[in-house]
């Protein structure tokens, strides 16, 4: 442990869009002394080495030996196995964190595998693009974005570890907030998971209209569809895991969404102009809130 609380040796499990962006941000800011990557995919390790993104990269977890911070950067469905595979490399005093988009399931899956004396600080950077893989990452990805931490414990060790993880995210340009895992999964259900599910659905609906319409759908996509195709181009494995691991919150929000959609459908069928106009006036004001929260590009 460095005297100032910063980490000396950062280990990553998985190096895709998020992992490689962390490596680039850490390298740019010289935020740690050493970085190591454990990724099952030899091509990813070769890329990391060729680009000099980390000091070491290997398909064996042994490469993480000595890391005082290990970040799990794999799809949420792979968090449990990832934690199990690195357990032997974790020294007392090490901190484990993650970047998963669901928090309750990750806590449940990861915690049992961690040895005593290792603090687990679940975290979720609200940042990303529709691209995936290590070549898609960039150092500025977290600039101005929020990272939500959901520390499950409240011991002095947990508190110290959370503060150190926050300091690292701050150094990468992010802002940090804390909340319970259940609350995180509810909020992200509406701000991220449901929007992605809806985007995947509508792009699928359009695709099924037939090959003869496809060229025209692409060509005239600037009217709104385009924005959905961006979301629906996100990593399929990552999102499959998100929906399966935040199932209850997503299904409940989907139920509310379906009810609202049915109400608008009925208003359109019946020609209820006032109902539609009132609804659209209401949603218009939400945009102001997003802009005021400085979360527009």
Site for a second copy in 72-91 (CB under 8 A): 77
Per CB under 8 A, does 29 bind a second copy?
no
Taking the least distance from each CB to a second copy, the nearer of 32 and 232 is 232
Taking the least distance from each CB to a second copy, the nearer of 64 and 242 is 242
Q: How many CB atoms lie within 10 A of CB 99?
A: 26
The arrangement of strands across the sheet holding 123-125 comes to 123-125, 146-149, 175-178
Smallest separation, CB 40 to a second copy (Å): 18
Q: Answer whether 106's CB lies under 8 Å from 79's CB.
A: yes
Residue 223 structure tokens: 């009217």
Taking the least distance from each CB to a second copy, the nearer of 107 and 203 is 203
Smallest separation, CB 214 to a second copy (Å): 7
Residues in the chain: 297
Smallest separation, CB 54 to a second copy (Å): 27
Site for a second copy in 226-255 (CB under 8 A): 226-234, 236-237, 239-240, 243-244, 247, 250-251, 253-254
Per CB under 8 A, does 216 bind a second copy?
yes
Per CB under 8 A, does 205 bind a second copy?
yes
Site for a second copy in 148-177 (CB under 8 A): 148, 177
Q: Answer whether 139's CB lies under 8 Å from 21's CB.
A: yes
Taking the least distance from each CB to a second copy, the nearer of 38 and 228 is 228
Angle at which helix 247-270 crosses helix 236-245, to 10 degrees, equals 100
Residue of 81, 145, 157, 171 interacting with a second copy (CB under 8 A): 145
Per CB under 8 A, does 293 bind a second copy?
yes
Residue of 20, 21, 35, 101 interacting with a second copy (CB under 8 A): 101
Smallest separation, CB 102 to a second copy (Å): 12
Site for a second copy in 6-25 (CB under 8 A): none
Per CB under 8 A, does 28 bind a second copy?
no
- CB-based burial label for 202 (10 Å; 0-12, 13-18, 19+): middle
Smallest separation, CB 124 to a second copy (Å): 9
Site for a second copy in 38-57 (CB under 8 A): none
Strand blocks (E) in 82-239: 95-98, 119-121, 123-125, 146-149, 175-178
Per CB under 8 A, does 128 bind a second copy?
yes
Q: Answer whether 86's CB lies under 8 Å from 62's CB.
A: no
CB within 8 Å of 64: residues ≥ 6 apart: 11, 13, 36, 38, 70, 86, 89
Q: How far is CA 165 from CA 62, 122, 134, 219, in A?
A: 23, 10, 22, 45
């Amino acid at each position: 442990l460095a005297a100032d609380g910063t980490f000396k040796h950062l280990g990553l499990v998985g190096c895709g869009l998020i992992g490689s962006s962390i490596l680039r941000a850490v390298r740019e800011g010289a935020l740690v002394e050493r970085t190591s990557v454990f990724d099952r995919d030899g091509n990813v390790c070769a890329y990391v080495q060729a680009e000099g993104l980390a000091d070491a990269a290997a398909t064996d977890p042994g490469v993480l030996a000595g890391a005082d911070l290990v970040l799990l950067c794999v799809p949420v469905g792979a968090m449990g196995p990832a934690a199990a595979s690195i357990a032997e490399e974790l020294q007392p005093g090490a901190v484990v964190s993650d970047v998963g988009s669901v928090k309750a399931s990750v806590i449940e899956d990861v915690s049992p595998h961690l040895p005593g004396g290792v603090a687990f600080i679940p975290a979720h950077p609200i940042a990303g693009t529709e691209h995936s893989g290590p070549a898609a990452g960039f150092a500025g990805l977290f600039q101005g974005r929020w990272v939500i931490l959901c520390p499950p414990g409240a011991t002095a060790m947990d508190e110290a570890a959370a503060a150190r993880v926050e300091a690292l995210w701050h150094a990468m340009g992010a802002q940090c907030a804390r909340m319970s895992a259940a609350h995180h999964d509810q909020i992200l259900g509406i701000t991220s998971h449901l929007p992605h599910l809806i985007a995947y659905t509508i792009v699928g609906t359009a695709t099924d209209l037939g090959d003869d319409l496809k060229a025209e759908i692409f060509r005239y996509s600037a009217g709104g569809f385009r924005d959905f195709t961006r979301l629906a181009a996100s990593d399929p494995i990552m999102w499959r895991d998100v929906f399966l691991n935040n199932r209850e919150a997503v299904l409940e929000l989907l139920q509310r969404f379906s009810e609202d959609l049915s109400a608008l459908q009925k208003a359109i069928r019946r020609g209820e102009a006032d109902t539609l106009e009132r609804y659209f006036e209401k949603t218009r004001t939400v945009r102001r809130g997003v802009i005021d929260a400085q979360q527009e590009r």
